[in-house]
């Protein structure tokens, strides 16, 4: 699941997602591993661009191996460009580690992984200021100290 919340000025000027080219976004991120979108990835990102941009939360369900992580990372990059804080939530620490490893293959996207008791100040600042994607499991997101992981307003 990709959870987002708006941070900063609401008058942020950005390119409309309707004209967003996620293939070009992927190329701009400079990944040597991910050089193009698979068919299902392109379909999901196109559907997002055509009707889900204003949704406060997005959940994507696809079969194993289709490329959900890359879809979420591209949507996260788009959200950061809009000034939104982004939390990439997983079901376990193991899955968070896997996402962190895959995100390393997208060098233009800054990410930080958080886990129980591990909330480095500079990484939290990057997350709170919409400069990096926070990767963590659900437990960390919902049970960490309010001073650590800042939750979107609609979850407080």
Q: Encode the chain (156 residues) as per-residue pLDDT tens digits.
A: 444 443 333 333 334 444 468 999 999 999 999 999 999 999 999 988 888 877 877 788 899 999 999 999 999 999 999 999 999 999 999 999 999 999 999 999 999 999 988 989 899 999 999 999 999 999 999 887 665 676 554 444
DSSP letter (8 states) at residue 108: T
Nearest to 20 by CA among 92, 78, 82: 78
Long-range contacts of 98-104 (CB under 8 A, 24+ apart): 98/69, 99/69, 99/135, 100/135, 102/69, 102/70, 102/73, 103/69, 103/73, 103/133, 103/135
N-terminal to C-terminal alpha carbon distance within the chain: 18
- Contact (CB, 8 A) for 114 and 123: yes
If we measure between CA atoms, which residue out of 46, 47, 41 comes closest to residue 66? 41
pTM for the full predicted model = 0.81
Pairing mode, if any, of strands 84-90 and 111-113?
Answer: unpaired
Which domains are present in the chain?
A: 2-155 (3.40.50.300)
């Amino acid at each position: 699941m990709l959870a987002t919340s708006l941070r900063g000025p609401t008058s942020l000027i950005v390119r409309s997602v309707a004209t967003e080219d996620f293939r070009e976004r992927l190329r701009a991120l400079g990944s040597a591993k991910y050089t193009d979108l698979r068919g299902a990835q392109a379909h999901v990102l196109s559907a997002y661009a055509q009707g889900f941009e204003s949704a406060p939360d997005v959940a994507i369900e696809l079969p194993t191996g289709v490329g959900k992580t890359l879809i979420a990372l591209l949507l996260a990059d788009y959200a950061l460009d809009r000034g939104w804080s982004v939390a990439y939530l997983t079901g376990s620490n193991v899955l968070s580690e896997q996402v962190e490893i895959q995100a390393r293959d997208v060098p233009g996207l800054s990410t930080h992984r958080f886990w129980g008791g591990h909330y480095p100040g500079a990484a939290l600042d990057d997350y709170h200021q919409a400069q990096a994607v926070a990767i963590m499991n659900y437990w960390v997101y919902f049970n960490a100290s309010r001073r650590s992981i800042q939750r979107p307003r609609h979850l407080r």
